[in-house]
Structure 1
C-alpha cells in the first residue's frame, strides 16, 4: 500500500463522497426531479502516468476526466446507457459495469494495474466479481495450455470441471447478493465463452503436428455448441471472453479448411495459404462490420509482424484490403507493411532522432559502431519492462562485444522513464527515447513491443523482428558477432 495513503483515508473519502451525493440527491428530490438515470464513478490512481483518465463506452469516448492534486477524481455519468464502460489510463484499460444509481469508487496502482484494482461503493459487488473473474481467466488460460496435451476425453473432463466450479460460484453469488438481469447475462456469457474458447484452442495447442489427425480423434459432440453461437453479437463485441473465443474459433476452423487442400503433414501456422484461408472464412461468416474488421486486422497484423517475406506480406495485405471496411485500419496496415518490408535483411536502419537521458539529441545510426541489439519498452507493460531489463543485464555480461540499446516508446517526459529505471537499479546508459514518437513507431514498425532489431557493425539490418526471450536469440547474437 502506498505509504501516503491508508485504507482508512480512502474509506473516509468514500464516505465523504456518499454524503455529498446524498445531499445532492436530497436537493434534487425537493425539486421533484425523479430522474434516476445516472451513475457516479470516482477513484484514486497511484503512480499515475498522466493527469487524466478516459471514460468510454463501445469505443465512443464519453469524457476525459482530470485527476486532482491528489490524483483523485469523481465523475457523474448523466443519461446513463447501462452496460459495460471502459476507463483508460496511460495505455492500460479496464472495464466496469454501470447501472442506474451506481456510485462506484476504485483505487489502483499503475505498476500492477489489474491486480491492484478494487471497487467500493454502490455497485461494487458485481464489479469486483467481474474483475476477479477476469484475473482468474488470465490464470486459467495458462493452465489450459498445459491441459491441451491430454487426450480429448480426459481434457474435456478437466474443462467441464472448471466450468462447473464457475457455475457453482456464480450461483452462490446470486444467492448472497441481489443481481440484475444485465449482470447475470454478462457473467453467464463470460463462463460460456471461456469454456467454448477452451474447446476451440485444443487441437491448435496440442503438441501433435498433424492437426487433421487430432481433429479426427475428437468426440462427435465436441463442438455441438457451435450451432447456437452468434458470430455477430453486437452486445458482446467488446467483451474479452467473446473476442478471445472468436479468435480461437477462426484459428481452429481454418485448420479444417486448410487441411482440405494442404498436403503438409506438419501444420505451419505461418503458412500464407492457411492465413489467407482464415481471412476468407471471417469474410464469409461474420456480417457485423465492426466485429469483422477487428478480426481481419488482428490476424493480418499478427501474420505480417512475424513474416520476413515481403511478397507474402503483400499478398495477405491485398486480401485484407479487399475484405475490410475500415479506412483507418487499411491505412494503418498499408503503412505498417510498407515500413516492415523496408526493414528487410541487408537494408540500412532508417535515420531516427533519439534523446538520451541527459537530453542530448542524437541520430540513431551514430550510436551504432559495433554489432548492436535494439529493444523497446513501455511503462504500460510493467512486467515486460522489468523482465526485459533483467534479461538485457544478463546479456550485456555474456556478450560484451554487443552494443545493447534500449528505447522507451512512451509519450511521457524523460524524467518519468529515468525515475523508473533508477528506481529498479537499471543504468540509464544506452537508454533513449524517440524525439518524434509517432514517426519512429511508423518508420520502425514497432509491433509487437517484444520486437528486437539486430544490426551488424556495418549498420546493416540482420533481423528486424526477433525477441530477446526467444530460445534462438543467443544463437542469433553469436551469429551477429561472427559476421
Structure 2
C-alpha cells in the first residue's frame, strides 16, 4: 500500500486549520468547480485501531491514508467521479459521497464510530445526511422486533410512513443546499431499497414464525419487486442495497426449496447446504455488475465452506462457484478457506496446534485441555467480543464439567490481545492466542464466533456451530450425553 501524498502537515496544527488548508484549493475567489477533477479527504480518527485507513470504490482500493502522530490523515483523490466511496478503518467502514471539488473532513471515535461520525467542509451536508440515514437504517432492527409480530397491513403502513418521512427530509434539505441530481437520485434509491429490505426481512420472519400473518400477505405485498434493479452500478457500494439483495435471495431460496419438496425445517435453515447453493445459483444468474457478483458469490461461497460438514460439501461449493464464473483469484481463496475448514470437520485431531499463553510461552492444544472443551474463536476487532465472553462466563457456571476456552485469532498482535484480556477482565486461565501459522489472517476472520467441541484428546466432535446459533445449548447437551 502506498502512503498518501499530503500527509505532511505539522502534528500541532488544529483540525480547523486542516479544513482551511483544504478549502483554499476550492474556495478562493469562488473558483469554478467544473474545472476541477479532484477531491480532498481528510480528518481525525480518535482511538484508532490501526495506523491507516483505505478508501475504496466499486470494491477496489484507490489509496491508503496513514495517520500522523495526532491521528489525522489527508489525501487527494485525482480524477474523482461523482458517487459512493468506502472509507475503511478496520473493523469500521463508512460510505462517503464525493464530487469533484469536494474538500471533506471527517471526525470519528472508534469507541462509538457510527454515532460519533461527523463531516465538515465542502460536501458535508450530503454526507452528514447519509450518515444519519445509515444510523436510522441500523435502528430498523429494533423496528422489526416491534412490528414483525403484527399483521402485514399495519407493517406496510409503518414502513411506508418511514420511507415518506425520509424522502420528505431529503427534499427539505435539498431546497436549502441544492444537491446535484446524481446525489438526489442515489439518496432516493437508497431510501427505497432500505424500505424494500424491511419488507423482505418481514416476509422471512412471518413465514418462519407466524403462519397466521404469512397467510395474510396480500398478492400485491411484493409489488415493489417490479421496480427492483439488481445491477444498479451507482449503489454497488451501498450497505442498504446489498442487504436488500441478500434478504431477497433468502426469500427466493424458500420458494425454490418448496418446489424441491424439501422438509420445511430445512427450507428455513440458512446454514443448510442446499439452501446456500440455491442462493449462489440465483446470485450468479441475477447479478452482472462485477463487484456485486463477486461480493455475493464470495460471501455465500464462504458461508457454504465454513458450514460444510464433509470434504464433499467443500468440493461441491467450489465447483458451483467455478461454474458461476467467480474470478480465479477468488476461487483460489475459496480453496484456501476449504483447506482450513478441513480442520473443523469431526474426527480431525487438533492436539498439536500451537497456542500462545499470556506469559508468552507456546503450548499445543493437547497440553491445554485435559477434559471435554468448547473452544470459542474471537478477535479484539469484533464489536461483540465482550458479549461473547459474558456468555461463555455464564456457560462455565452452568456446565462446570466443560472447559470453555477462548482462542484469539489476531495472529501477530500478541501485545494488543494481552491488553484486551486485562482491560476487560477475561479469565486469564482460559485465554490463548493462535500462534503464527501459514494461514493468512484474513481467512481466520471467517471463523469468528465459531465453536469447536473437542474431547479430552483434542479430537473435533462438533465443528459446525456458532455462538449465535439458536441450537447452541442443545448441541452442548448433545456433546455431554454422547
TM-score (norm 2): 0.86
Report SS of the residue matched to 1:168: helix
Cα distance change on mapping 1:18 and 1:277 into 2, 3 Å: closer
Cα distance change on mapping 1:330 and 1:260 into 2, 3 Å: same
Report SS of the residue matched to 2:108: strand
Distance in 1 of aligned mates of 2:305 and 2:159: 33
Cα distance change on mapping 1:224 and 1:475 into 2, 3 Å: closer
User: How far apart are 1:358 and its partner, in Å?
Assistant: 2.0
User: How far apart are 1:436 and its partner, in Å?
Assistant: 2.2
Report SS of the residue matched to 2:350: coil
2:52 equivalent in structure 1 = 52
Contact map agreement 2:39 2:99 (CA 8 A) in 1: yes
2:358 matched to 1:345? no
1:158-307 correspondence runs (5 A): 158-206=158-206, 208=208, 217-262=216-261, 264-266=263-265, 267-269=267-269, 270-307=271-308
Greater CA deviation, 371-380 or 255-264?
255-264
Deviation digits for residues 143-191 of structure 1 (CA, Å, limit 9, x no counterpart): 2255233222222222212212222222222233332222212211111
User: How far apart are 1:210 and its partner, in Å?
Assistant: 9.3
Distance in 2 of aligned mates of 1:226 and 1:26: 44
2:71 equivalent in structure 1 = 71
Cα distance change on mapping 1:181 and 1:428 into 2, 3 Å: farther
Contact map agreement 2:365 2:458 (CA 8 A) in 1: no
Greater CA deviation, 426-435 or 66-75?
426-435
Greater CA deviation, 335-344 or 185-194?
335-344
Distance in 1 of aligned mates of 2:33 and 2:247: 49
TM-score (norm 1): 0.86
Report SS of the residue matched to 1:218: coil
1:130 equivalent in structure 2 = 130
Contact map agreement 1:408 1:433 (CA 8 A) in 2: yes
Report SS of the residue matched to 1:74: strand
Distance in 2 of aligned mates of 1:210 and 1:390: 31
Distance in 1 of aligned mates of 2:285 and 2:214: 22
Report SS of the residue matched to 1:447: helix
2:14 matched to 1:13? yes
Greater CA deviation, 92-101 or 11-20?
11-20
1:325 equivalent in structure 2 = 326
User: How far apart are 1:28 and its partner, in Å?
Assistant: 11
User: How far apart are 1:475 and its partner, in Å?
Assistant: 4.5
Cα distance change on mapping 1:101 and 1:415 into 2, 3 Å: same
1:101 equivalent in structure 2 = 101
Distance in 2 of aligned mates of 1:42 and 1:145: 38
Report SS of the residue matched to 1:37: coil
2:366 matched to 1:361? no
Distance in 1 of aligned mates of 2:321 and 2:253: 16
Cα distance change on mapping 1:227 and 1:165 into 2, 3 Å: same
Distance in 1 of aligned mates of 2:279 and 2:468: 28
Cα distance change on mapping 1:464 and 1:208 into 2, 3 Å: closer
Contact map agreement 1:296 1:324 (CA 8 A) in 2: no
Root-mean-square deviation (CA), in Å? 3.2
2:395 equivalent in structure 1 = 395
Contact map agreement 2:344 2:464 (CA 8 A) in 1: no
Distance in 2 of aligned mates of 1:264 and 1:482: 27
Cα distance change on mapping 1:151 and 1:70 into 2, 3 Å: same
Greater CA deviation, 269-278 or 105-114?
269-278
Distance in 1 of aligned mates of 2:463 and 2:348: 10
2:459 equivalent in structure 1 = 460
Distance in 2 of aligned mates of 1:261 and 1:217: 24
Report SS of the residue matched to 2:65: strand
